[in-house]
Amino acid sequence: MTLLRLSEVAAGYDGARAVSDIDLQVDAGQIVALVGESGSGKTTIGRIVAGFLSPSEGAVSWRGERLLGVRSRALRRDIQVVFQDPYLSLNPYRTVGSVLGELLRATGVPRSDVRAHIGDLLARVSLSGDVAASRPSELSGGQLQRVAIARALATRPSLIIADEPTSALDVSVQAAILELFAGLRSELGTSLLVITHDLGVVERLSDRVVVLQSGSIVEEGRTPDVLDHANHPYTRRLLDAVPRLPESSTDANAS
């Protein structure tokens, strides 16, 4: 089933186009990577999908229905965003438990069940229940990004947009966060649109990859096909700029 479809979408800022003629699809349970160098329009597309920016041309559809105007609360719960920097995306003054609890209550979880649900959410992102009593300053970057993911999961979304979700984190915790997203897909069926300039992320995580250059899609396809047989010179330049996993592990991923 197709969750999200962008058809011939263009958008920009102050009359200047940042992206144009964007055709993009995310199916239920799929992980799609959006890749391209800085300024190529990745975040702009993420903002369109999240509903933060309206396209000037083209159509955005969700579950087969064109989205126009203000989004319903149900839809805002169904599409969640995880940002690059968890320090900026979490309120420094509030405990993790109070943030998660408020969201859970807003989605209809009875007050008496909230504490258990908070524990479930934290466990889902491999954090201990003690974290509920913590404020952001007491947590590491990796723990904070897990909290941000738990917050996104509180509304049981069908799609999470993750904009460079590991690039503000220590290299040592990046892989664990990627594993977490992979687990969410396999255990909850959550689809992911992951925005990255890191082809390692693409290779480890995504089913399909969309390559952007200067606001346009220059290549799109199944991840192993694109990584192994990149047609566009720009994609090949991106590939050459990044150390690849050894051939053997690439073969294992493809089978």
Least distance in angstroms from the C-beta of 18 to ligand ADP? 3
Q: Which partner, Mg ion, ligand ADP, none, binds residue 165 by CB below 5 to 8 Å per kind? A: none
Closest-CB residue for Mg ion? 43
User: To which H or E segment does residue 32 belong?
Assistant: strand 31-35
Q: Choose the one of ligand ADP, Mg ion, none that binds residue 255, judging by a C-beta under 5 to 8 angstroms depending on kind.
A: none
* HEC profile of 162-182: EECCCCCCCHHHHHHHHHHHH
The binder of 235, among Mg ion, ligand ADP, none, by C-beta within 5 to 8 A per type, is: none
Q: CA nearest 118: which of 136, 137, 139, 95?
A: 95
238-242 CB contacts, 8 Å cutoff, 24+ apart? 238/35, 238/36, 238/37, 238/199, 238/211, 239/199, 242/198, 242/199, 242/200
When binding is defined by CB under 6 A, the residue of 20, 30, 44, 143 that contacts ligand ADP is: 44
Options 38, 112, 172, 248; binder of ligand ADP; rule CB under 6 A? 38
Binding status of residue 40 toward ligand ADP by CB under 6 A: yes
Sole window of 17-25, 43-51, 101-109, 202-210 interacting with Mg ion (rule: CB under 5 A): 43-51
Both tokens assigned to 196? 């990255």
Q: Give me the residues that bind ligand ADP (CB under 6 A), please.
A: 13, 18, 36, 38-44
